[in-house]
Amino acid sequence: METIYGYLERITFVNEENHFTVARLQEKAKKELTTIVGNLAGINPGESLRLFGKWVHNAKYGNQFQVEKYETVVPATVNGIEKYLGSGLIKGIGPVMARRIVKTFGLSTLDVIETTPDELAKVDGIGAKRIEMITKAWEEQKEIKEIMIFLQSNGVSAAYSARIFKRYGKASIENVRENPYRLAADISGIGFITADRIAQNMGVDPNSILRVKEGIIYVLNELTNEGHVYYPLETLLAKAAEMLKVDVEFTKRAAAELLEERRIIKEDLQGQPPLQAVYLPAFYTAETNLARLLLCLTGEPSSIRSIDTEKAIDWVAAKTGSNLAEKQKEAVVLSAQKKLLIITGGPGTGKTTIIKAIIQIFRALKLRILLAAPTGRAAKRMQEATGHEAKTIHRLLEYSPRKGGFEKNQESPLEADVVILDESSMIDLLLMYHLVKAVPLNATLILVGDINQLPSVGPGSVLKDLIECGRFKVVTLTEIFRQARESRIVTNAHLINKGMFPDLKKPPDRELSDFYFIEENEPEKIIKKILTLCLSRIPKRFGFHPVQDIQVLTPMHRGELGVMNLNLRLQEFLNPNESRLIRGNKSFKVNDKVMQVTNNYDKSVYNGDVGTISRIDQEEQEVQVNFEGRCVTYDFSELEELVLAYAISIHKSQGSEYPAVIIPVVTQHYLLLQRNLIYTGLTRGKKLVILIGSKRALAIAVKNNKTQNRFTWLDERLAEGI
């Protein structure tokens, strides 16, 4: 085994899943930096390292030192200290401030921060407030280091150590020792698998009832992430036993304890065949109570007084200068008669026209109308199209971070006679439950959406269940109106929805179309064409902004044409700024297009919101993101909430529209080549859609109308009236 010494110049890559790190080391008496690779969790730029390992040759990157183990000491050189302090390790000290501090104190810098921090006031730009910040951050860093050593020995990365410290503080080691599985529930990014690895390293018995119980909860949570509301007991226990590598008898015993503790709920469902359904309590409550509330709503009298609907339709036509088609008239009439109405149809079938007509009539009747949609973008589109204020469902229900719930509910209902919800296919069980709880019993609820879109990301298939239960009036729009028929996006979307191959013919030379198909089979060539389309071809020909107006959508997360790789390539191409912030396997730059991937109620940003990084402050350890004119600040510890958004998954695009959309369609995406996926992606493009890939892959997707059935009992509960 060979040994090398030096100080860490910079970290270029960290994989948070397996802690694999690529970094550059400055060895003594060497001009060129040495590339080091291996499991190096917890190292920071500027630290002096003694590394043990061997030299290997990488065909692409040349000679590298493969580290098997290492020792770290605080930096011993002025340059090392500057690097160490300027790495973002200590809040309040960035590269510029680090240079000033080291210039003032030299080799004594770390001793000054440790023992006499008040002396930092001698440095230009450091006042009492910043000294306090630095002192606190230094103490925290020492404590984190101790926690990190403990956790690292049990297979946890440095990034997670910081999150654990933020959550538990000085009690971190004690809490982890007591029950390592609590990390899965308490720490963002740490799932059961990581918590289980820690537990195993700490000597927890693989057959312990604690482990098996937490494993069952984990499997059930994963199944809800796939859209299921419940799961059959027998299959659930078999899945848990297989995942945990234990005998199914252990899972039966663990499930019995979970039932006794009310951490899971079992119900015998009288289906064909009958089955024992297992729910997480929140989903059982939501499903049973949503069914009851919907039945109550439709059973109560309406606050809308009886009107001459024919006259109302004629009045709307005269007021707007447009006549409604028969199905549109039916929808308007029923909106005044039914307590719950569902309007569904594809693009260009006139859903927005119906909403506008309904609003006109109800406004004339002096009714209180509320408009909402599941996402910010969908709400904005709804407002622009109708001229009536529209909110996200979370805003409508007045979510309170302090209380951890919605202010609007049964005790404090919405002040409304009519609630109209757009993009209803996106709404999951829990959100629909909270919404219906807040709808007054005398109000009318109108759900508008496209049943052929992808189902909600969250558990349930609410719109589908409400349609199929047979309890509520449904208006299905099929007629494509003249203006929409002129769009190849719309016509091809409807062809795909019917299982027919889209029209791929090229428009005549110099004639612009809103739909193009570019045939290409090789992933690398597809990537290069996507890059060229974004940077030059589309902006030059259509005038669209390369970042703000063009959205790449893809079915997959991994692989050459998955979200992760496409984002890295697009970032490099569209934002060549050299200065970057590296956090784990993420790299952020100023002007990057980013997406929020969790609901953050404190910041009022929600899953799917897209913004642009406007500032990265290494000293304050903050990143500022501009969300359509509203600036939101993130601490470095909160950056797991953000991902690059030059490319996003088609699932994430639901409820949004973009001026231009590019979608790779290749056979490598075989498992995800589904009709509703391509249909949803296609309908996200407002003015331009470009499919790029193979006709074979597109044909597979168009033919594949099999969608995964979700385990939900809402339609049966509604049909049976319970």
SS (H, E, C) 539-604: HHHHCCCCCCCEEEEECCCCCCCCHHHHHHHHHHHHCCCCCCEEECCEEECCCCEEEECCCECCCC
- Pairing type for strands 685-693 and 658-665 reads parallel
Task: Tell whether 416 is covered by a domain.
Answer: yes
Which of residues 183, 200, 217 is at a domain's end? 200
Residue of higher predicted confidence among 177 and 642? 642
Q: Give the pLDDT mean for 372-376.
A: 89
Which two structure tokens, joined as six digits, stand for 493?
């979307």
Residue owning tokens 């909106």: 335
pLDDT classification of 18: cutoffs 50, 70, 90: low
Taken in order 352, 356, 357, 358, the sign of the CA dihedral is: positive
600 and 533 together in one domain: yes
| Residue 40, domain CATH | 2.40.50.140
| Average of per-residue pLDDT across 75-98 | 79
675 and 555 in one domain? Answer: yes
Same domain, 380 and 424: yes
Q: 321 and 469: one domain?
A: yes
Dist CA 17 CA 159 (whole Å) = 11
pTM, entire model: 0.81
Strand positions, DSSP E, 564-722: 581-583, 586-588, 593-596, 610-617, 622-627, 630-635, 642-644, 647-649, 658-665, 685-693
Kindly report the backbone phi and psi dihedral angles of residue 693, in degrees, each rounded to the nearest multiple of 5, phi listed first: 160, -145
| Dihedral angle of Cα 557, 560, 564, 565, to the nearest 10 degrees | -170
Nearest alpha carbon to residue 439 among 382, 370, 361: 370
Indicate whether 139 belongs to any domain. Answer: yes
Query: Looking at residue 302, what is its pLDDT?
Result: 87
The β-bridge relationship of strands 369-373 and 418-421 is parallel
Q: For the ranges 39-48, 372-381, 659-668, which has the lowest average pLDDT? A: 39-48
Same domain, 141 and 240: no
Domain CATH for 209: 1.10.10.2220
Q: Are residues 68 and 82 in the same domain?
A: no
In this prediction, residues 521-527 reach a mean pLDDT of 93
Q: How confident is the model at residue 552 (pLDDT cuts 50, 70, 90)?
A: very high
Domain check: are 299 and 275 in the same one? no
Domain C-terminal end among 200, 231, 248: 200
Distance CA 522, CA 694 (A): 9
What residue numbers bound the domain in which 270 lies?
205-279
| Amino acid in position 274 | P
For 32-145, where are the E strands, in sequence order?
Answer: 34-39, 48-58, 62-73
Q: Note whether 477 and 344 are within 8 A (CB).
A: yes
Q: What is the pLDDT of residues 100-115, one digit of tens each?
A: 999 999 988 888 988 8
pLDDT given at position 590: 94
More confident residue, 348 or 586: 348
Q: Is residue 711 situated within a structural domain?
A: no
Domain count, the chain: 5
pLDDT tens digits along 641-692: 899 999 999 988 887 889 999 999 998 766 678 899 999 999 999 999 999 9
If one compares 237 and 49, the residue with the highest pLDDT of the two is: 237
- The answer as to whether 354 is a domain residue is yes
Last residue of a domain, one of 167, 184, 200: 200
Distance of CA 607 to the CA centre of its chain: 5
Which letter, b or e, does each residue of 479-501 get, where b requires 16 or more Cβ atoms within 10 Å of its Cβ? Answer: ebbeebeebbbbbbbbbbbeeee
Residue 128 lies in a domain: yes
Asked whether the predicted pLDDT for residue 74 surpasses 80, the reply is: no
Count of CB atoms within 10 A of residue 256's CB? 10
What is the band of 696 on the pLDDT scale with cuts at 50, 70, 90?
very high
> How does pLDDT run across 469-478, given as a tens digit for each residue?
999 999 999 8
Say if residue 169 is in the same domain as residue 212: no
**In a shared domain, residues 52 and 111:** no
147 and 273: one domain? Answer: no
Is residue 494 one of the residues assigned to a domain? no
Q: Which amino acid is at 612?
A: T
Instruction: Decide if 717 is inside a domain.
Output: no
Same domain flag for 271 and 312:
no
Whether residue 347 sits in one domain with residue 381:
yes
Structure tokens at 65: 């030192």
Q: Is residue 716 part of a domain?
A: no
Give bridge partners of residue 593 from the DSSP assignment. 612
Residue 693 makes CB contacts below 8 A (sequence gap 6+) with 518, 519, 520, 521, 526, 664, 665, 666
Q: At residue 140, does pLDDT exceed 70?
A: yes
- Beta pairing partners, 400: 405
If DSSP codes are grouped into helix, strand and coil, which group holds residue 441?
coil
Structure token pair of residue 540: 């030059």
Angstrom distance (rounded) from CA 417 to CA 305: 11
Chain centroid, CA 72 distance in Å: 37
